[in-house]
Structure 1
Amino acid sequence: MLDKLKENLNQNFPFLENAKLLLATSGGIDSMVLVHLLHELNYDIAMCHCNFQLRGLESFGDQKFIQDYAEANEIPLFLTQFDTEAFAKDYKLSIQIAARELRYNWFYELLETESYDYIITAHHADDVIETFIINLSRGTGLDGLVGIPEQNDKIIRPLLPFSREEIQEYAAQNHIQWREDSSNASDKYLRNKIRHHIVPLLKELNPHFLESFEKTCSYLKESQELVEDAAVMVYQQVAQEEGETIRIDLKQLLRLPNYKSYLYQWLKEFGFTAWEDIYDLVESQSGKQVFSSDYRLLKDRMQLILSPIQEGDETVYLIEKDTQEIENPLMLVFSRVNEISKASHTTIFVDEDKLTFPLVLKRWEEGDSFQPFGMNGKTKKLSKLFKDEKLSLIEKENTWVLWSANEIVWVVGIRQDERFKIDDSTKKILKIDLES
């Protein structure tokens, strides 16, 4: 097994040879074999152990066992303890998910604070089978069936080619000691039921099941790559990126026979889970939305608009008389000119003597109204203006208004107010530019 691991590391992870490695060590047979193997191969390793305090004295027994092993073998060790049950309760998580979050958050913190390069875990081939069956039982797409990746960001899993039997045999041959987690014997958890009953039956039915399963995962990965390539090609035809915003053309999308699959491929990385709601959004009326924790997907006429969720900015920005430019929240440039050139949505000319300073820049509010330039003093609500301009919900939310006292000077980037226009009596012309 030592030679096989060495070959795997040299072939697939040559960059680990000169790296500093953190070994996630539970004290169980898998992690202790991993520590032994990498120590034998002279890698620069440290052990890290989380005491989740879920099994009373047994948890502290694991911690003491690992402390003694690290000291005896002169391996650096990092230890931490978590009140896992309290964390799970506070954040409404299962114990397993809570432990995972606590564990990996701490691992990444160690990478940063202790200047280590990678986290090494002892996941092996049987873990891949168990994960596959769990995902299959819950209903999953290709992502849940392609297995556990050998590398995921800074996490490396070099034992994935090895079976549980190989690890047990190596431990016996090299007299490696480990701690047995008593919870592993219980069928309380789904993974244990699969480990104790389903996987042994599959191996009994097919003595070469592990090899066959590896081939299946390989074929599934190839299929996944084809799907991802197709998704990228179609995305380039139907989607348009504008900064952090993505617009998906529904006319083009609906021409595709499997448009739901494409939406899933494009949107899964943004944290969405309510897929049926997203698919229904395509046929919904404008204004309907679906949210993930950080993103919003909005139906706006014949497009879907994906954008980050932004907290409403209720800040009021004051602009003094001699201000030449501001950069936040918008880039506005103020300059005095002698004559008017061409005005536009991004450039206006106003009579400075009609202004009351400081000017105020803030987001629009429901009920705001103004006198649009060119409409001879007629009043119009901003909500009606936005409807006429066919602004999306996101565009409306991001609209800023420049005020003089209690009168609107400019719905920025859209329309100037009539009351501040240049006329025959104007002596001072102030040019205001909105720059990108």
Structure 2
Amino acid sequence: MLFAVKQHINQNLPFLKGKKLLVAISGGIDSIVLTHILHQLKFDISLAHCNFMLRGKESNKDEIFVKDLGEQLNLPTYTIQFNTKGYATENNLSTQMAARSLRYNWFQELIKEHSLDYLITAHQKDDVIETFLINLTRGTGLDGLTGIPEVNKNVVRPLLPFIRNEILVHATRNKLQWREDSTNSSIKYVRNKIRHKVVPFLKELNPSLLETFSNTLQNLKGSQQIVNDRISEVKEKVITSSGNDLHFSVAELKKLSNPKIYFYEILKEYGFTEWDDVTNLLDAQSGKQVFSKTHCLLKNREVLILSEKNTIEEVRSFEVLENTSKIKEPFKIKFKKVDIPFDTKNHPNKVFSELISDKPNTISIDYDKLQFPLTIRKWQKGDYFYPIGLNGKKKISKFFKDEKLSLIEKENSWLLCSNGDIVWVIGKRLDNRFKVSKTTSTILKIKL
């Protein structure tokens, strides 16, 4: 098997040569064989072991075993203990999903901290069919049926072409020691139930199950590539960018043969799950929304707007002290105080025009009309201001309606205020009361 792994890496994973690798090691047979093989092949490896504190003394013995192995092989070894059950409860996750989240987050932290190149895991071919069957029973798309990827960003799985029995034979012949996880024999967990009950039955039906499954997997991956190519074509037709948001043309989406399927392929990375509700947005009234945990999809006239949920929603206002030059929240704004020479303000000329000339997202305000600290806050019902270029006052809500802002754009609108008066609907319109005039002595230039 040593030669087979070496040949596989040379042919399919040559980018691993000369790189610094972090091996995820549980102490079980798969990760132990992987560690010994990579060590024998002279790869630059470090070991990372997670103690999830789920099996009492047994978990602690696994950790000690891995530390001893690292010492025997003279390899850098990192270990960590997690309160997995507590994390699962706090984040409303299953124990297995909590463990997965904890370990992969920690692995990536180690890679960054120690300037490593790749995370190496010991998944093998039997794991692939188990994952396929788990996803199949839960409901999934092509992504869930194409198995565990051999390379996913900086995560690499060199043992995927090898079956569990090959790994067992190699470990036995080379008299390797490993730890047995007692929970692996329990059918309490879905994966173990599939491993011990379903897969053996399928192998009885088809002794060549793993071989035929590999062929099926390749066919599915080919189909997935065709789907991805088609989705890329559709995205070019239906999606346009607007700042941090994505706009989907309702008219173009309605031309598709099965919008629900296209929505799934396009929006799955944003956490949506209620696909009927998403599809129904095509014929919904303006203002209708569908939410995922991280994003919002809004029907706004002839487009659907995809935007990220506001992470600063709880913070409703920010103060700007006098002589502040810049702020970073709720977004980056620069402030610059400029004095106007006496002869310039009394004799308008090119210099004066340049001083007060505004560009998109930049305004000039009469500094002496301001009362500090200024406040940046979200708009509220009943707010009004005196829009520059118009006579009289106007409610913010009416201004937004006239400007044809979407619900998301309204929710993401902020106001710059002085002593309760609105100075600027930020990025949209200045208040007439604070504009620069011929009597202005000092200007406050504000750039968003």
Amino acid at match of 1:40: Q
Give me the whole-angstrom Cα distance separating, in 2, the residues matched to 1:41 and 1:421: 72
- Match of 1:72? 72
* 381, 385, 405: which one aligns with 1:370: 385
Distance between the aligned counterparts of 2:179 and 2:16, measured in 1? 28
Aligned to 2:192: 192
Corresponding residue number in structure 1 for 2:394:
380
The answer as to whether partners of 1:50 and 1:80 remain within 8 angstroms in 2 is: yes
Q: Tell me the secondary structure at the aligned position of residue 9 of structure 1.
A: helix
For the pair 1:317 / 2:320, whether they are aligned, the reply is yes
Alpha-carbon shift at residue 334 of structure 1 (Å): 7.4
SS at match of 2:22: strand
Does residue 137 of structure 1 match 2:152? no
Identical aligned residues as a percent: 49
How far 1:170 moved relative to its partner? Answer: 1.6
Q: How does 1:216-255 map to 2 (within 5 A)?
A: 216-255=216-255
Q: Which amino acid aligns with 1:369?
A: Y
Q: 1:331 to 1:282 in 2, by over 3 A?
A: farther
Change (3 A) 1:409 1:54: closer
Query: Given residue 399 of structure 1, which amino acid in structure 2 is its aligned partner?
Result: S
Q: What is the aligned partner in structure 1 of residue 53 from structure 2?
A: 53
Q: CA deviation at 1:234?
A: 1.2
1-structure distance, mates of 2:396, 2:286: 19
**Corresponding letter in the other structure for 1:383:** S
Q: Which moved more, 1:278-287 or 1:249-258?
A: 278-287
Cα distance per residue 1:248-291 (max 9 Å; x no partner): 11111111112222222222222333333322333322222233
Give the counterpart letter for 1:305 in structure 2.
I
Q: Secondary structure at the match of 1:315?
A: strand
CA distance in 2, matches of 1:68, 1:418: 74
Alignment of 1:120-159 (within 5 A): 120-159=120-159
- Map Cα deviations across residues 391-411 of structure 1 (whole Å, 9 max, x no partner): 112222343445455544544
> For the residues of structure 1 that align with 2:124 and 2:363, how far apart are their CA atoms?
70
**Aligned mate of 1:390, from 404, 411, 415:** 404
Q: How far is the alpha carbon of 1:241 from its aligned partner? A: 0.9
Is the Cα–Cα contact under 8 Å of residues 376 and 414 in structure 2 kept in the other structure? yes
CA distance in 1, matches of 2:428, 2:60: 66
- Offset of residue 94 of structure 1: 1.5
Note closer, same or farther for the CA distance 1:308–1:331 as it changes in structure 2 (3 Å cut).
farther
Partners of 1:408 and 1:75 in 2: CA distance: 63
Pair 1:86–1:297, CA change in 2 (3 A): same
**TM-superposition CA deviations, 1:321-346 (whole Å, max 9, x none):** xx999996446777756279799995
Provide the aligned length of Structure 1 versus Structure 2.
Answer: 431
Match of 1:256 in 2: 256
In 1, are the aligned partners of 2:260 and 2:276 still within 8 Å (CA)? no
Compared CA separation, residues 260 and 345, structure 1 to 2 (3 A): farther
Spell out, residue by residue over 1:181-232, the C-alpha distance to the aligned partner (whole angstroms, 9 max, x if none).
1111111111111111211122222222211111111111111111111111
1:368–1:160 Cα change, 3 Å? same
CA distance in 2, matches of 1:244, 1:372: 26
- Residue by residue, what CA displacement relative to the aligned partner does 1:128-173 show, whole Å, maximum 9, x if unpaired? 0000000000110001000000012222110000011211222222
Aligned equivalents of 1:50, 1:422: Cα separation in 2: 63
AA aligned to 1:33 is V
Find the residue that maps to 1:234 and give its secondary structure: helix
Provide the residue aligned with 2:303 in structure 1: 303
Tell me which residue corresponds to 1:32: 32
Shift of 1:365: 2.3
User: 3-state SS of the aligned residue for 1:159?
Assistant: coil
Q: Secondary structure at the match of 1:219?
A: helix
1:111 Cα deviation from its structure 2 partner: 1.6
Question: What do you get for the CA RMSD once the two structures are aligned?
Answer: 3.2
In 2, the alpha carbon distance for the partners of 1:401 and 1:114 equals 44
Give the Cα separation in 2 of the matches to 1:405 and 1:307: 32
Going from structure 1 to structure 2, the CA distance change for 1:324 and 1:334 (only over 3 Å counts) comes to farther
Label 1:247 to 1:334 Cα distance change in 2 as closer, same or farther (>3 A).
farther
Instruction: Give 2:411's aligned amino acid.
Output: E
Gaps of 5+ in 1: none
User: Is the CA contact 1:348–1:432 (under 8 Å) kept in the aligned structure 2?
Assistant: no
Partners of 1:190 and 1:248 in 2: how far apart? 39
Structure 1 distance, partners of 2:333, 2:284, is 33
Asked if 2 retains the 8 angstrom alpha-carbon contact of 1:319 and 1:361, the reply is no
